[in-house]
Amino acid sequence: MTTSVRVSIAALAVASSLAAQVPQGEAIMSNFTNAAPMEGLLLCNRNGTLTPVTGLLAARGVAPDLNSIQLDPVDDRVWIGGITASAGRIDTLKVTGSAVTNFTVIGNTGNGGSISGIAHDANGNAVASSGSITGTGGLFRVDRKTNLVTRFVGGGSWTGQAGTCNCVCSDDFGNLYFGVTGAPATVYMLAPGPNGDYAGVPVVVGTVAPPSSSATISSVEYAPAVGLRPARIWWTTFGSAGTAVGFIPWPAGAAVAMGPIGGNSAPNWIDYDVAMDDFWLVTGGINPDTVMNVNHLGVGVNVGLVPPGGVNGTPSAIDVNDCDPAVAKILPQYVPVNGGPFDLEFGTCCPPGHIGGVLLSTFGNYPLVVGFAGADGRLFGKLINVTWPAGLPGLLTFQAVCFDPRNNTFDFGPLMTWPRN
């Protein structure tokens, strides 16, 4: 069988000391019903420095009320989802220092519902949770190349629990997890399927019932197995009483509430930090609103109060720019069944100041992207309008590498085979 690969190179190296993004190891939080100095975004580090991001109001043109946020899995974009005046709206931006740059309107779900969560699927497409899953809401896919927004879970074909599709996340295998409010709330998993089109039927992972506030499940988050600790699907619930943090054993099981996070803290979002093996969490109940780091026992440490003084709207979500050094990320993981064209994206992260890159190892370590890691640690590039037939799983092999110029040491990551179909 012959293959045809039509390519043009958009960028061999897109990273430098001036790279735009959230600094490595820091997190970015979304907020709604803002008052000065907040415009909807807040940079957070573990030292307790919480810095409002400026320029969003001017760039967006409407009240910067945000209900979701997610860093791109490869490049330096930040994905945001709206609420109230911008319900249904999905945008991207970049952050340079503490200012918004490169703001782009991506699309709208058209259902008038809040974008309550954003994740990315195995092919790098943004996935938004929004609205009543039996009505006009559910899960919406944003095509990574065309920005076309399409609902793929929900509506008349939905036979599961009725309620608001209120949160979504993904795991290392490309599975999507989403929470539907109710009594109890239900967490579902949707696998990518043999061609990465997520055309299968979601399966129940577990239900979240008292002592949590089951009607208001606010986030779900996959935490991988580390050592003897198994993988888990963590969740938060947000309400006037009985709020909690906990987990469902992966891939399915009974929900376990963890403490002492709860009471009036009203946790609204939890995000796993792969570098630190703990979590970032935001609370949005009775003031003060806080940013916290939480361990696997559910014990939290306050990072800081949302300025000024924890009295400023409602923190809605948080995402950390964590780094698993020298791990290659290739998108899409599944090639289209028609062979394309598609953009083949590749990236990795390295400690700031290191030299890094992604190699095509199949033909003798051909460098696809090489550069100095800036403050965000990310290096990435793409080949545009590639055609590649399905049916050749694992034909190519990629590997990422980081080089520390201070001591002349290399860190070679695992070999990554591509594609998955």
Tell me: the pLDDT tens digits for 278-303? 999 998 877 888 999 999 998 888 99
CA distances from 124 to 55, 118, 146, 223, 343 (A): 27, 12, 12, 19, 11
- pLDDT by residue (tens digit) across 22-47? 999 999 999 999 988 899 999 999 99
User: Which of 300, 320, 340 corresponds to the end of one domain?
Assistant: 320
Instruction: Answer with the one of 320, 345, 365 that is the final residue of a domain.
Output: 320
Poorest-pLDDT segment among 101-115, 187-201, 206-220, 295-309 = 206-220
Is the pLDDT at 158 greater than 90, yes or no?
yes
Measured CA to CA, the distance from residue 80 to residue 40 in angstroms comes to: 10
Residue 3 placed within a domain: no
pLDDT computed for residue 214 by the predictor: 54
Using the 3D structure, point to which of 258, 288, 320 is the last residue of a domain: 320
Same domain, yes or no, for 305 and 331? no
Per mean pLDDT, which range of 201-210, 219-228, 268-277, 351-360 is the poorest? 201-210
Residue 148 and residue 85 share a domain:
yes
Q: So what's the pLDDT on residue 253?
A: 93
Q: How confident is the model at residue 14 (pLDDT cuts 50, 70, 90)?
A: very low
Structural domain contains residue 253: yes
- Do 347 and 307 share a domain, yes or no? no
Is 262 found in the same domain as 186? yes
Do 100 and 199 lie in a common domain? Answer: yes
Looking at the fold, whether 255 and 109 belong to one and the same domain comes out as: yes
If you average pLDDT over every residue of the chain, what do you get? 90
pLDDT digits (tens, 9 = 90+) for 302-339: 999 999 888 888 999 999 999 899 999 999 999 999 99
Q: How far is CA 2 from CA 162, 262, 318, 331, 418, in A?
A: 48, 59, 46, 22, 17
Query: Which residues span the domain enclosing 399?
Result: 8-14+325-418
Confidence of residue 4 (pLDDT cuts 50, 70, 90): very low
Would 295 be classed as within a structural domain? yes
* Token pair listed for 163: 């309620």
Question: Would you say residue 20 lies in a domain?
Answer: no
Measured CA to CA, the distance from residue 154 to residue 146 in angstroms comes to: 22
147 with 269, same domain?
Answer: yes
Asked if residue 372 is part of any domain, the answer here is: yes
Query: Based on the domain organization, do 376 and 392 belong to the same domain?
Result: yes
Q: How many domains does the chain have?
A: 2
Is 101 in the same domain as 135? yes
CATH code of residue 355: 2.60.40.10
Which amino acid is residue 58, in one-letter code? A
